[in-house]
Structure 1
Amino acid sequence: MASWDAKELREAVLKLYDGEARNIASEAAGSLSDRLWFVEFHYFECKDLLERQLPQVSSEEEVFCRLFNVHDEHGEEFEIIRRQSQAHLYACIQSLHCVADTLGSLLNATLSLGLKGAFYSHNVLEKLVAEGMVQIYQPFSALIHHPDFVYLNALVNRSKHTSVVAIPYAVDYVADGRHGMQFSAFRQKGTPHDKRWALEFVASETDRQSRLVVIIGNALNAELKRRLKYRSIS
């Protein structure tokens, strides 16, 4: 996977800006790195709980007994681990949801887009489009307009403003007996969203966002390099 040269970004910001703009850019870059680390940490903590600490099951019938605490000596332990896993998943999606807005704050500061006060990723996109920064706004648009980000946004906002979307330990008896943590189906602002396997969704969306963040970051570095070159000529 390609990488984003954070040192190059930092050096360009130091040369182009001072004062508040420099501080905001530095804080946003640090927060972006933290958020991606938080996502990875909570994902693997959840995965470890489910794969290594959850009492092992050997049949679909045993899974059913664990789920409904039917004649199962590990039922209480199973429920504790399920709730701990749910806590990690919610921490994970909250940080994953923040990535776009935090990246937007970094773009606003480093590209002097002029947004003040509270703003969101779609406001940043509008500015990027208006400025004609194709190499940045195209991947940024892909970041926030993808169906999986739309789902993530609905999931987080539903849980934040209305009620927590349940994440039960589910079994797919219709297909192949697959079992694991699953985001329940829910509605947000009148739009229905189907249930999804939690770890699979988080892994996929984290990978998608991480790749786009690198693309956007490299495009940002290139734009700042261009501005530095123009400043030296003028």
Structure 2
Amino acid sequence: MSKVLSGGPIKDGLSALLDDPGFTYLAALSNHSKHRSIIEVSYSVNFESDVVEHGLQFSSFSYDGVDHPAKWVRPTLINEYQRKEGLLLTIGNAVNDLLRDRP
């Protein structure tokens, strides 16, 4: 992508979309599940903090030599969805602006 696209809002938006740790984590989770085995999701309770956390949790896993820690499902997915929602709107508007300006 970086060699094909010239600099500008589309390239910047796609870089922000793909280079984020949340995206990297979910891509590794998805690829591990597709090509190796499905990452276990279990109901967990954490009493170690001041506020008791509970819910579904992705188990820790390793993919492509990178270790990924266990993560709570709900906040992981909500954060990534909200992050992508704004970026996709921005990228789409930039594509529309570029196409509108073409002869």
Bucket of the pairwise TM-score, normalised by the shorter protein? over 0.9
Report whether the alignment pairs 1:168 with 2:45.
no
Q: Which residue in the other structure is 2:4 paired with? A: 127
> Between Structure 1 and Structure 2, which shows a larger proportion of strand residues?
2
Query: Could you tell me how far 1:177 is from its partner in structure 2?
Result: 2.4
TM-score of the two chains, using structure 2 as the length reference: 0.93
- For 1:144-183, what aligned pairs fall within 5 Å after superposition? 144-175=18-49, 176-183=51-58
Q: Which residue in the other structure is 2:60 paired with? A: 185
Report SS of the residue matched to 1:163: coil
TM-score of the two chains, using structure 1 as the length reference: 0.42
Paired with 2:88 and 2:53, the residues of 1 have a C-alpha distance of 32
Paired with 2:83 and 2:2, the residues of 1 have a C-alpha distance of 18
2:82 to 175, 184, 207: 207
Paired with 1:172 and 1:138, the residues of 2 have a C-alpha distance of 38
> Between Structure 1 and Structure 2, which shows a larger proportion of helix residues?
1
| Cα displacement string for residues 123-142 of structure 1 (whole angstroms, at most 9, x for unaligned residues) | x44321xxx24110001100
Runs of 4+ in structure 1 off by over 4 angstroms are none
Larger radius of gyration between Structure 1 and Structure 2: 1
Q: Which residue in the other structure is 2:13 paired with? A: 139
Q: Which residue in the other structure is 1:223 paired with? A: 98
Query: Could you tell me how far 1:173 is from its partner in structure 2?
Result: 1.8
| Conserved? CA contact 1:125–1:140, under 8 Å | no
Unaligned runs of 5+ in 1: 1-123
Unaligned runs of 5+ in 2: none
Query: Percent of counterpart pairs with the same letter?
Result: 36
